[in-house]
Amino acid sequence: MLRLRFLWLILALVVVSALFLTLGAKGSWSFTLWFRGQKLASLLLIGGAVSTATILFQTITHNRILTPSIMGFDALFLLILTLMIFGMGAGGYAQVPKVTLFLINLVLLTLASVALFTLLLRDQRSDLMRMVLTGIILGVLFRSLVLFIQRLIDPSEFAVLQSASFARFNKADADLLLVSAVLVCLTWAAVWRMRHRLDVLALGEVLPVSLGADPRRGQLVVLMLISVLVSVSTALVGPVAFLGLLVSSLTYRVIPSWHHGHILPAAILIGGLTLVGGQLVLERVLHFETPLAVVVECLGGLVFLILILRKGST
């Protein structure tokens, strides 16, 4: 049954990608394919990165409502970015190659999030509501700090910053795309290698210790991997709050398995399918009347509310 569902997912992704590349193309094919191919690659990459990060986060926190972005991960990325622009000025910022900036931001985010979330996860592992609230408050804190710094900087810096702080699915930088693809693939390889350990880590706080999989170390490694994935997706398209939640809850529905060897590939496929399919419908059918980010966030937000209400009533 699982194999059949995987086949369907792969088939759907191939069809949607082919349509995305070819539908309504005018003019030179080589240009269209190159242009749209880049876009397709970035959508697949982001869909896969965000959904992997979400599944990983849900595994180490043992619940299926939290996502890295609800816990303020991408707000932290923006804060670091803002501080960097503030520190260097728009001129200085523009002179540093984008890829270098991205890598610096990545390292800083990894350090900051590991420090922050190991503290958070240590004390409040069992209290879900407190953890959600802490995360949301932290997210608001980071966003407010970003806003505060925006008041302090001059308009040209502000313009640089603003283009970096909104989700935008129709433009991605080619250099950045390449670096991101390499990073995401490396992360996926690392995640794949620890898939059995993830199965054990998902069993709770005590059983992993009894089975010899040190949860502290596991959580630390997973947090680092999440930081890389979140950095990539935020750097490429800006923050997307609920995409991960939408994809992860779809995945658990479609693939009812506890094997991360099944869940993770499915989540990557569904993540790509959601973004590419959504973009296809918006661009070709609805002719760009609503940005994809709005639609995804709206659906994902609904899923979040439904999950919270359902958890509350049981």
Interacting residue ranges for other proteins, rule: CB under 8 A: 62-64, 195-197, 199-200, 202-204, 206-207, 209-214, 256, 258
- Two tokens at 282? 């918006």
d(CA 83, CA 74): 14
Q: In angstroms, give the least distance from the CB of 201 to other proteins.
A: 11
Q: In angstroms, give the least distance from the CB of 64 to other proteins.
A: 7
227-237: string of b/e by CB count within 10 Å (b at 16+)? Answer: bbbbbbbbbbb
Question: In whole angstroms, how far apart are CA 298 and each of 92, 257, 270, 294?
Answer: 37, 27, 17, 6
What contacts 24+ positions apart, CB below 8 Å, involve 194-198?
194/218, 194/221, 195/259, 195/260, 195/261, 195/264, 196/260, 196/261, 198/56, 198/59, 198/222, 198/260
Q: In angstroms, give the least distance from the CB of 311 to other proteins.
A: 11
CA angle 146, 148, 154 (to 5 degrees): 95
Q: In angstroms, give the least distance from the CB of 224 to other proteins.
A: 19
Q: Which is nearer to other proteins, 24 or 212 (CB)?
A: 212
Q: In angstroms, give the least distance from the CB of 278 to other proteins.
A: 28
Q: Which is nearer to other proteins, 175 or 205 (CB)?
A: 205
Q: Which is nearer to other proteins, 24 or 312 (CB)?
A: 312
3-state helix, strand and coil shares in percent for the chain, rounded to the nearest 5:
80, 0, 20
Burial grade of 97 (CB within 10 A; 0-12, 13-18, 19 or more) = exposed
Q: Which is nearer to other proteins, 67 or 227 (CB)?
A: 67
Element (H, E) at 129: helix 128-152
Q: In angstroms, give the least distance from the CB of 214 to other proteins.
A: 5
- Cβ within 8 Å of residue 124, ≥6 positions away: 130, 131, 134
Q: In angstroms, give the least distance from the CB of 243 to other proteins.
A: 22
Q: Which is nearer to other proteins, 60 or 232 (CB)?
A: 60
Q: Which is nearer to other proteins, 218 or 244 (CB)?
A: 218
Q: Which is nearer to other proteins, 66 or 235 (CB)?
A: 66
